[in-house]
A and B are shown apart, each in its own frame.
Chain A
C-alpha cells in the first residue's frame, strides 16, 4: 500500500502531510504526559516489532502468501492515539531507512496506514465489541485496512500525475484490499485471542462512561469544521491543480473516461470485472461520509484511562 514519490501531485502530498501532522499533534497531546515518561521507548520498540511482524508471511490457498499489517491490532493493544504514533514510526522508518514509500509522499502514507487504519480500526472495535468481541476484532482489522487502501486510492485518484481517475483506483484498490482485509482480520483475531488468553489485562474492557452531550458537541464541531473547510480545499486544489500540466493532457485526450475499460483486462488479479467507475465514485462518497462520522465519533471518545506502567 506504500505510495512512492512521483505518484502523487504535490498539493495532494501537502494536504495529506498537513492533515497527518494535525492529527498526530492531536494524538500526541491526548497522550501527553504518557509520552514524556517511559512511553516514547515503549512506542519505539513496539513500532520496531510491528515492522518485523509485517514481514511474517502467511500462507493463503493458491500457493502465495500475504502479510500482517497490524494497525488495528496496535490500536486495540495501545489505544488509538499511541497506536497512531507507533504506526507513524513504522511508516517513517520504512521510508527513511529502507526507502519503502517516498519522503515527499510520507504524509500520505502516514495518513492511510497510521491514521485512517488505526482510528477506523479502533472505532469499529469499540462500537462492535459490546455485541460480539470476535466479530469486532475481525471487522476492525478488515475495515481498517480497506479504508486505509481507499484513502490511498483517493489520494492517487485525485492526483493528475497518476492518470487513472478516482473511481477506477478506488474500485481496484478497494477490491484488492477488501480481500487482503479478510486475511488481516483472521490473523488479527488469532493474535488477539492469544493475547487475551495470556495477558487478559492488556485487552480488558476499559469502557469509560460516555458523555453523550460532549460527544454530540465535538462531533458536530468536527463535521461543521470540515463542511466549512471543504470549499477552501476545493478552491486550493483548483488553484494548484490548475498549474498541473497533466490535467490538460488528460482532459484533452479523455484519458480518464477510457482508463477503466482497459485496466481490468490488463490486471485481472486486481480488478473487479464489470465494476462501473460510477460505483467507485459512489463508494468514495460513502467512504468519505463514514470517515467523517468515524472521526467525529472518535473526537468525542474519552481517552482510555491511563494504564499503569508495569
Chain B
C-alpha cells in the first residue's frame, strides 16, 4: 500500500476527470455570451475559427486570435484558472517539442544560436496551438454535451453515431465511479505493498473484470433500448431561438475569418 502505487493513483486520475466534466457542465449553465449562442452556430463558428487559425504563418494573427478567445472567455464567465491551465499546458508542451527549431532555422541571429525565423516559427506554432486549444475550450465549457449532440444531429451526422456518443457520455461518470470502486476495493484488501509483478497481475485482472462488467452492462442497456423501441435516435428537438448573442458571435467569426483570409 505504498503511497506511490500507480494502480491506486488511478482512482485520483478518475476523480480529476470526473471533476473536470462536472465543472464544464456547471459553466455551461452560467449566464454568459457564448452560453446563449445556438449550439449549431457555436460549433460551426468555432470550427471555422480553428480552421483559419491553423493556417496562420506569422505570430501576430494567432496571438490576436488567442486574445480574442480570452475576451470571449471573460464574457462567458469561464473560470480563469481552469481555462488558463487548459490552454497553457498544451502550449508549454508544444513549446518544448518545437523549441529546437528556434536554432535549426537559419537566418539572422536573434540571441545566441536562436535565429529570427526560428523564433518566429516557434512563436507561430505555439500561439497557433494555444489559440486552437483555447477556442475548443470555449466551445466545450459553454455547451452542454447534450446540446452539442443536438447540433451534430441537426448537422446530419448519422443518428446511430450520435446515439452511441450520447450513451458513451451518459455512462462516463458511471464507469469512472465503478473503476475507482474496483481499484479502492482491491487496495483495501491488500495487506502489504505489491511488487511490480503483482501490480501488473492485479491490474490485468482488474481490467478484465471491469471490461467484462462493462460488456454486461452494455448488453443490459442494449436490451433496455430494444424494449423501448430500439435506437433509431429519434428525439423531440427543443428549438432554441436565434438571437442577439448569435448575431454577435457570428459577426466575430465573420470578422476573424475575413481578417485571417485577407492577412495571409
A residues at B contact (CB < 8 Å): 4-10, 28, 35-53, 55-61, 63, 65, 68, 73, 77, 85, 89-90, 92-93, 95-99, 102-104, 161-164, 186-187, 189-195, 198-199, 202, 245-246, 249, 253-255, 258-259, 262-263, 266-267, 309-310
B145 adjacent to A57 (CB under 8 Å): no
Given contacts A5-B133, A59-B6, A59-B200, 8 further A-B contacts (CB under 8 A): A5-B50, A39-B222, A41-B231, A42-B219, A99-B137, A102-B132, A190-B205, A246-B121
Q: Is B164 an interface residue (CB 8 A)?
A: yes
Q: Is B103 an interface residue (CB 8 A)?
A: yes
**Who on chain A is nearest to B145 by CB?**
A97
A98 adjacent to B17 (CB under 8 Å): yes
Contact A36 B160, CB 8 Å, known A5-B50, A45-B221: yes
Whole-angstrom distance between the Cβ of B203 and the nearest chain A Cβ:
5
Q: From B175, B176, B230, give the contact of A37 (CB < 8 A).
A: B230
A38 adjacent to B217 (CB under 8 Å): no
> A8 to chain B: which residues have CB within 8 Å?
54
B interface, by DSSP: helix, strand, loop or mixed? helix
B167 adjacent to A44 (CB under 8 Å): yes
B36-54 contacts to A, CB under 8 A, are 46-47, 50-51, 53-54
B100 adjacent to A38 (CB under 8 Å): no
A6 adjacent to B132 (CB under 8 Å): yes
In the assembled complex, the Cα of A193 lies from the Cα of B212 at a distance in Å of 12
Q: From A40, A45, A55, A163, give the contact of B101 (CB < 8 A).
A: A163
Q: From B46, B57, B135, give the contact of A246 (CB < 8 A).
A: B57
Contact A190 B219, CB 8 Å, known A40-B163, A99-B137: no
> B148 to chain A: which residues have CB within 8 Å?
96
> A36 to chain B: which residues have CB within 8 Å?
160, 230-232
Give the residue among A44, A193, A202 with the most B Cβ atoms within 10 A: A44
Whole-angstrom distance between the Cβ of A310 and the nearest chain B Cβ:
6
A255 adjacent to B105 (CB under 8 Å): yes
**Who on chain A is nearest to B225 by CB?**
A41
A40 adjacent to B164 (CB under 8 Å): yes
Q: Is B168 an interface residue (CB 8 A)?
A: yes
> A56 to chain B: which residues have CB within 8 Å?
7, 10, 179, 183, 203, 206-207
> A46 to chain B: which residues have CB within 8 Å?
211, 214-215, 218
B165 adjacent to A198 (CB under 8 Å): no
Q: From A43, A53, A92, A104, give the contact of B51 (CB < 8 A).
A: A104
Q: Is B223 an interface residue (CB 8 A)?
A: yes
Contact A41 B140, CB 8 Å, known A5-B132, A57-B10: no
In the assembled complex, the Cα of A240 lies from the Cα of B67 at a distance in Å of 29
Contact A43 B164, CB 8 Å, known A49-B211, A194-B209, A262-B100: yes
Whole-angstrom distance between the Cβ of B194 and the nearest chain A Cβ:
9
> B170 to chain A: which residues have CB within 8 Å?
44, 48
Contact A10 B17, CB 8 Å, known A68-B207, A77-B215, A89-B164: no
Give the residue among A36, A42, A65, A95 with the most B Cβ atoms within 10 A: A42
> B104 to chain A: which residues have CB within 8 Å?
163, 253, 255, 258-259, 262
Contact A37 B218, CB 8 Å, known A59-B7, A90-B168, A191-B204: no
> A77 to chain B: which residues have CB within 8 Å?
211, 215
> A267 to chain B: which residues have CB within 8 Å?
96-97
> B150 to chain A: which residues have CB within 8 Å?
none
In the assembled complex, the Cα of A262 lies from the Cα of B179 at a distance in Å of 43
> A186 to chain B: which residues have CB within 8 Å?
200
- Type the 1/0 row for B190-206, where 1 means its CB is closer than 8 Å to any CB of A: 00000010011101111
Whole-angstrom distance between the Cβ of B243 and the nearest chain A Cβ:
25
A191 adjacent to B219 (CB under 8 Å): no
In the assembled complex, the Cα of A46 lies from the Cα of B222 at a distance in Å of 11
Q: Is B172 an interface residue (CB 8 A)?
A: yes
Q: From A6, A53, A61, A194, give the contact of B125 (CB < 8 A).
A: A6
Q: Is B74 an interface residue (CB 8 A)?
A: no
In the assembled complex, the Cα of A52 lies from the Cα of B135 at a distance in Å of 26
A194 adjacent to B208 (CB under 8 Å): yes
In the assembled complex, the Cα of A35 lies from the Cα of B161 at a distance in Å of 10
Contact A45 B204, CB 8 Å, known A10-B54, A38-B222, A38-B223: no
**Who on chain A is nearest to B176 by CB?**
A52
B168 adjacent to A44 (CB under 8 Å): yes
B218 adjacent to A97 (CB under 8 Å): no
> B125 to chain A: which residues have CB within 8 Å?
6, 161-163
A52 adjacent to B129 (CB under 8 Å): no
In the assembled complex, the Cα of A73 lies from the Cα of B207 at a distance in Å of 11
A38 adjacent to B226 (CB under 8 Å): yes
Q: From A58, A89, A191, give the contact of B7 (CB < 8 A).
A: A58
> A310 to chain B: which residues have CB within 8 Å?
219
> B105 to chain A: which residues have CB within 8 Å?
163, 249, 253, 255
Q: From B54, B175, B205, B212, give the contact of A104 (CB < 8 A).
A: B54
> A50 to chain B: which residues have CB within 8 Å?
211
A40 adjacent to B225 (CB under 8 Å): yes
Q: Is B107 an interface residue (CB 8 A)?
A: yes
A45 adjacent to B7 (CB under 8 Å): no
In the assembled complex, the Cα of A81 lies from the Cα of B169 at a distance in Å of 21
**Who on chain A is nearest to B9 by CB?**
A57
> B196 to chain A: which residues have CB within 8 Å?
59-61
